[in-house]
């Protein structure tokens, strides 16, 4: 059912609390925030919409896992500095997210001002959906906008507690996420393809269960491919195999065949003699020639070319998971090749799942060439699994 959109919420001249997701990889250093600011840029349309309506904009987010305690390395002020640059106006960082000092600072704001509350997870009440903590957050504003799709699968105070207390709507980012993923699932331009990668089959079981009968093509890469190949009796050297998922992989292949879904597995692989960024030996071998004791690290160039040729004939592509060990430079080639191929499909609808897939696309400078790049890793997976997301469910129906 359709949820209340931002245009359906009376925000003119009001103080608006906006749940955003500014959980950027700050462990790489604040100087690198600009390299991974997709989540900041993605919420700019909502912030600008509110500023045009002379709102006081109060942003709230978590950062990392401080486990209910103040962690000096996880303060949001550096993220606010980057946001101010992107927004072209000051963003006032507050030293807490609740309390008299915060309430006074928000009251003192003028229409058109923006502030950023301190890390929500410095308070244990955030993750426990504590009623009092939610009430303190809600007391800062007249209404609430949920624009943090990436945490919509979490039942926290700022995602489900505040909507119980304030007039609430989806932000423009959340609306786009729900609509883009929803259309890809329910009304895709055919043929519909799912490109699945990442480390484990177990991470994608529910997605495959929900998608399989809807698909025309299923492409498998990454560590998932290792288990699927092992399920077909291929030797995969020293690579990790999810032995408890071999029957599931065989069942997926059988059910896909019965449903007329084409399953694509790599026909060549990049292997190394050690699971290391700089192993002594690296080779590309046919899928049935992985040396004993070696590790599958990436799909081969021929496999990537085959995937791109088949994907070019598809109308809608759902991509979740890298094709290899992307974080190791020399084993990122398969992901790069496929990403560039997908980015070149001007006529296709290309929906990229969040998490490591979005980071890969962002690092390759291909964000603007995809139809939609989700900001939510776990949230997009659960959406594709067909599950109800608490942070979306808490928004009133339109």
If you write DSSP's letter for every residue of 170-223 in order, what string do you get? E-HHHHHHHHHHHHHHHSPPSSEEEEE-SS-SGGGHHHHHHHGGG-SEEEE-HH
In order of 135, 338, 352, 373, 378, the CA distances from 344 in angstroms are 48, 10, 14, 15, 27
Rounded to whole angstroms, how far apart are CA atoms 386 and 42? 24
Rounded to whole angstroms, how far apart are CA atoms 248 and 256? 12
Q: Are the beta carbons of 69 and 125 closer than 8 angstroms?
A: no
Residue 7's closest CA among 200, 251, 171? Answer: 171
Rounded to whole angstroms, how far apart are CA atoms 84 and 67? 27
Catalytic status, residue 197: no
Catalytic status, residue 69: no
- 3-class DSSP state for residue 301? helix
The catalytic residue among 200, 214, 255, 301 is: 200
Catalytic status, residue 39: yes
Rg, C-alpha atoms of the chain = 22
Q: Are the beta carbons of 267 and 306 closer than 8 angstroms?
A: yes
Within a 13 Å sphere around the CA of 211, how many CA atoms are in the beta-carbon half?
32
| Alpha helices for 283-398 (secondary structure H) | 301-311, 333-343, 356-363, 377-384, 390-393
Joined together, the tokens standing for residue 89 give: 């106006």
Q: What are phi and psi of 308, to 5 degrees?
A: -65, -40
Catalytic status, residue 378: yes
Q: Which helix (H) or strand (E) holds 244?
A: none
The catalytic residue among 3, 39, 82, 204 is: 39
The catalytic residue among 355, 376, 377, 391 is: 355
Query: Catalytic residue numbers?
Result: 39, 200, 355, 378
């Amino acid at each position: 059912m359709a949820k209340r959109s931002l245009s359906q919420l009376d925000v003119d001249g009001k103080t608006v609390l906006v749940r955003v997701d500014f959980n950027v990889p700050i462990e790489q250093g604040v100087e690198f925030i600009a390299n991974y600011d997709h989540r900041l840029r993605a919420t700019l349309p909502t912030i600008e919409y509110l500023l045009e309506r002379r709102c006081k904009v109060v942003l709230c987010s978590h950062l990392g896992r401080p486990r209910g305690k103040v962690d000096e390395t996880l303060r949001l002020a550096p993220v606010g500095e980057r946001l101010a640059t992107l927004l072209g106006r000051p963003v006032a960082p507050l030293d807490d997210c609740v309390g008299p000092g915060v309430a006074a600072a928000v009251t003192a704001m003028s229409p058109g001002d923006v502030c950023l509350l301190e890390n929500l997870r410095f308070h244990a009440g955030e993750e426990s959906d504590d009623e009092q903590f939610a009430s303190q957050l809600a007391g800062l504003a007249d209404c609430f906008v949920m624009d943090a799709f990436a945490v919509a699968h979490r039942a926290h105070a700022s995602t489900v507690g505040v909507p119980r207390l304030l007039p609430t709507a989806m932000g423009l980012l959340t609306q786009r996420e729900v609509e883009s993923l929803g259309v890809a699932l329910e009304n895709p331009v055919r043929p519909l393809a799912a490109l699945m990668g990442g480390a484990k089959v177990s991470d994608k079981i529910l997605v495959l269960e929900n998608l399989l009968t809807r698909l025309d093509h299923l492409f498998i890469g990454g560590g998932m491919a290792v288990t699927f190949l092992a399920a077909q009796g291929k030797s995969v050297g020293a690579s990790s195999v999810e032995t408890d998922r071999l029957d599931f992989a065989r069942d997926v292949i059988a059910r896909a065949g019965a449903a007329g879904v084409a399953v694509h597995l790599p026909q060549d692989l990049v292997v190394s003699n050690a699971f290391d960024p700089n192993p002594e030996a690296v080779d590309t071998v046919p899928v049935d020639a992985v040396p004993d004791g070696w590790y599958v690290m990436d799909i081969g160039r021929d496999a990537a070319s085959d995937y791109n040729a088949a994907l070019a004939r598809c109308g809608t592509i759902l991509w979740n998971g890298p094709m290899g060990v992307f974080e190791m430079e020399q084993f990122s080639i398969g992901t790069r090749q496929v990403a560039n191929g997908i980015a070149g499909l001007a006529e296709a609808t290309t929906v990229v799942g969040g998490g490591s897939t979005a980071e890969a696309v962002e690092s390759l400078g291909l964000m603007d060439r995809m139809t939609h790049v989700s900001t939510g890793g776990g949230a997009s997976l659960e959406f594709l699994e067909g599950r109800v997301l608490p942070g979306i469910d808490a928004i009133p129906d339109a």
